[in-house]
Amino acid sequence: MFICDECRKLFEVCNVSYETHGLDTPPYEQILRCPYCLACNPSFAHRCSKCGEYTARIFDGYCGECKEQLKKEFRKTMEENFCIEDRRFLMYNALYDDDWAL
């Protein structure tokens, strides 16, 4: 399944066009397009394991919005359950470079 980066619609089959670049014989460049808006190079669609929405980009199984929500929940849990020294150590290691899963 694909998702268009422009119109955000889902589809199974891309519209295919060919660019000859002035050549008389193949091989020609094959260009995949969204069948709705004809934008070039749609992305593979991934389903978020939390909200179930499809997105072009996924982080450890989650869409961007769910990832941010989980990070906020994680920080809140850390603040409630750990002293400041332990919390700084754990949060630095868990949240560095978006590698936030323990």
What are the pLDDT digits (tens) for 31-45? Answer: 999 999 999 989 999
Percent of the chain with pLDDT over 90: 51
Query: Is residue 57 situated within a structural domain?
Result: no
Return the number of other C-beta atoms located less than 10 Å from residue 55's C-beta.
19
Given a contact cutoff of 8 angstroms between Cβ atoms, the answer to whether 51 and 65 are in contact is yes
Burial of residue 47, with CB atoms counted within 10 A of its CB: 0-12 exposed, 13-18 middle, 19 or more buried: middle
**Residue holding tokens 């593979």?**
44
Q: Are residues 38 and 66 in the same domain?
A: no
Residues 40 and 8 in one domain: yes
Domain assignment of residue 29, yes or no: yes
Tell me: do 38 and 69 sit in the same domain: no
Q: How far is CA 43 from CA 17, 71, 72, 85, in A?
A: 16, 25, 28, 42
In this structure, the answer to whether residues 1 and 38 fall within a common structural domain is yes
Would you say the pTM of this structure is higher than 0.85?
no
Segments forming the whole domain that contains residue 82:
62-102
